[in-house]
Amino acid sequence: MEYSLVCIECGREYEREDVYTCECGGLLEVRIDDTEIDFRLDGKELRVWKYGCLLPVKIEPISLKEGGTPLYECDRIGKEVGCKVFVKHEGANPSGSFKDRGMTVGVTKAIELGKSAVACASTGNTSASMAMYAAKAGLMAYVLLPAGKVALGKVAQALMHGAKVIGIKGNFDQALALVRQICAMQGFYLLNSVNPFRLEGQKTIAYEIVDELGFVPDKVVLPVGNAGNISAIWKGFKELKRFGLIDSLPKMIGVQAEGANPIYKAVKEKKDDIEPVLNPETIATAIRIGQPVNARKALRAIYESKGTAVQVSDEDITKAQKDLASKEGIGVEPASAASIAGLRKLAENGEIERDETVVCITTGHLLKDPEAVLRACGKPIEVEPSVEAILKVL
Ligand code: AN7
């Protein structure tokens, strides 16, 4: 398969692959040339590399068997909001988040380019996933985190998989600016979602949704932080249409937390770029991001698809997290619950129709953030070791 890197702003094409952004400052996108499709959307054997003919790598991939995540029909929540609701649970990936789809491609690209070290800034999940895939590939991994603002499970993963983990006394946006400088100085391969190859892996979420459902949903709802995933999924749907595999497209709905809402504000004001939020704050630490690097791509995805963005409060997020866990048996981290909170917000706003099908993406697993669970549910009751004491509290 042939492809090139193209700037989304000025259209300049790059032959070299070790670039992240255009000389004009614009974001790059992988443009796939016309090619033979060697998979069928038959609902069988879903996984990222099923769609390898549309993924831009030239060597055997570094894989931990990512993708093929469950798509659950959620009748209870569907009844409440008044449409057919499916949840695609990306928490079921090897590291517990959707980032694995991007990392299998990104880390493979690092090997292809002859790199010996990879690096990222992260609100947690990117670092956990990168550390895992770097371990599998035998690469050094360097991680910058906003100190004290990353969920415990994610830090645990990055540490155990052998990354060098550094806490920055600042927020994610500052950490990202710093890691970009460090990568340029040290020759580390940058694996944040400004890397266009990572987004190629993440577009397989769109492929799998159509593969499993057998049709194109009306809406896809997902949390937006650095705004890579919404851009990637939209690209995936557009490619399926371009290659004649589907003939309609869904509306893309981005959900942000009220305290970290630059994309929401831009959409509300119909702007094509964001004003950064300087001190982003939310319990959904994964999306505690004020200056999303992929904002321009994400806003295009929302406008082109005739979608929208909504914002939800931390309270809405916690309620949605409990709902999904206790009514549907799906355990997700707070950022992921934002998709369900966003769906409820759409329903409240009258933006859901009775016969439509909505797919919510739950991006990360419940166990990523055990401390958020204890805050939401309290600690277990402790009693004396006797039948009487237990019966008393039942
Ligand atoms: C669970 O790990 O940015 O809009 O550094 O972990 O593509 O950034 C995580 C983002 C949603 C937002 N849900 O996705 C990181 C990081 C979860 C996440 C998002 C993240 P993007």
CATH number of the domain enclosing 272: 3.40.50.1100
Q: Are 111 and 60 in contact (CB under 8 A)?
A: no
Q: What is the pLDDT of residue 366?
A: 98
Mention every residue, 6+ apart, whose C-beta is less than 8 A from residue 176: 121, 144, 192, 226, 293
Instruction: Confirm whether 129 is domain-assigned.
Output: no
C-alpha triplet 50, 53, 54: angle, nearest 5°? 100
CB 364 near ligand 1, within 6 Å: yes
- Nearest CA owner, ligand 1 atom 9: 286
Residue 40 covered by a domain: no
201 within ligand 1 shell (Cβ under 6 A): no
The answer as to whether 182 is a domain residue is no
Task: Write down the pLDDT at residue 204.
Answer: 99
List of the chain residues with pLDDT < 50:
none
Domain that holds residue 18: 1-34
Which residue CA neighbors atom 18 of ligand 1 most closely? Answer: 286
Q: What is the pLDDT of residue 206?
A: 99
Model pLDDT for residues 83-118, shown as the tens digit of each residue: 999 999 999 999 999 999 999 999 999 999 999 999
Whether residue 365 contacts residue 97, with contact meaning beta carbons closer than 8 Å, is answered with: yes
**What is the distance in A from the centroid of ligand 1 to the CA of 362?**
11
Contact present, 187 and 253 (Cβ < 8 Å): no
**Is any ligand 1 atom within 6 A of the Cβ of residue 123?**
yes
Q: What is the pLDDT of residue 69?
A: 98
Q: Return the closest-CA partner of residue 263 out of 210, 314, 303, 203.
A: 303
d(CA 123, CA 150): 6
Question: Is residue 89 situated within a structural domain?
Answer: yes
Spatial distance between the Cα atoms of 244 and 247, rounded to a whole number of angstroms: 7
Ligand 1 atom showing the smallest separation from residue 172 Cα: 5
Q: How far apart are CA 295 and CA 273, in angstroms?
A: 7
Domain assignment present for residue 149? The answer is no
363 lines ligand 1 (CB under 6 A): yes
Query: Does residue 1 share a domain with residue 87?
Result: no
Q: Which atom of ligand 1 is nearest to the CA of 129?
A: 2
Q: How far apart are CA 342 and CA 353, in angstroms?
A: 15
Pocket probe mutation, ligand 1, options 229, 302, 339, max atoms within 8 Å of Cβ: 229
How many separate domains does the chain show? 2
Query: Is 193 near ligand 1, meaning CB less than 6 Å away?
Result: yes
Same domain, 6 and 86: no
Return the residue whose CA atom lies nearest to atom 5 of ligand 1: 122
CB 358 within 8 A of CB 217: yes
The whole-number pLDDT of residue 174 equals 97
Residue 123, domain member (yes or no): no
The pLDDT score that the predictor gives to residue 93 is: 99
The response to whether residue 362 sits with its C-beta less than 6 Å from ligand 1 reads no
Residue 355: what pLDDT? 92
pLDDT > 90: what percent of the chain? 100
Same domain, 23 and 85: no
